[in-house]
Amino acid sequence: MSGPFAGRLALVTGASRGIGAETAKALARAGAHVVLTARTEGGLVETEDAIHAAGGTATIAPLDLARGDDIDRLAQAIAGRWDALHILVLNAATLGTLSPLAHMSPKEFEQVIALDLVSQWRLIRAFDPLLRRGRPASLVALTSSVARSPRAYWGAYAAAKAGLENLVETYADEMKALGVHALIVDPGATRTAMRARAFPGEDPKTLKGPEVVAEAIAARLAAGLAPGAQQLRVEAGPPLPA
């Protein structure tokens, strides 16, 4: 497909549903070949089929981000097939149980930090050489308002997202003169499975769809990123039809 990302390679984590799936589709519509990763192979196939049906191209790569060595192996496999990576989207995350910090089990707290922060560092570390080869390249990280405005019961998730923002800003500062720039995206209230878990009494019809966030990300990347890390908050858009 032709478009601003024609001939470019993107990798999107958590691409089996929600914002990840819609971002992968948006990037593919803009011409990128997209590598789709998530734990759920069935969801990845659905995303891949939708991309192919629209005339785009994609490759699925089922991956459990909790397994750091598998991240390294994926990077090696991609490096063996493609010369460079131009867009890396860090979307996959887990919410964990919303509860007082003192009531959360150590095991679950560590699992949230491991997936939402440590695995994100493993991805940056593993794909850094490919991003350098893809210059100008973009690192996109999905965050949340709780990263900067702490909220009761959101402790583990908020701490992980705050750490992720700092991590991405640090990497962007290190890469400022090397052509790899970052976009930190706060999607705001969006109709996703995670949002439904966090706010079970909320009417999903009042929320914008994940495709609104995806289009905002694609448009910002197509416009080009300045050196360093930029912030993008996606305000309310049209909700999905009932």
Residues for the chain: how many in total? 242
Q: Which residues are catalytic?
A: 157
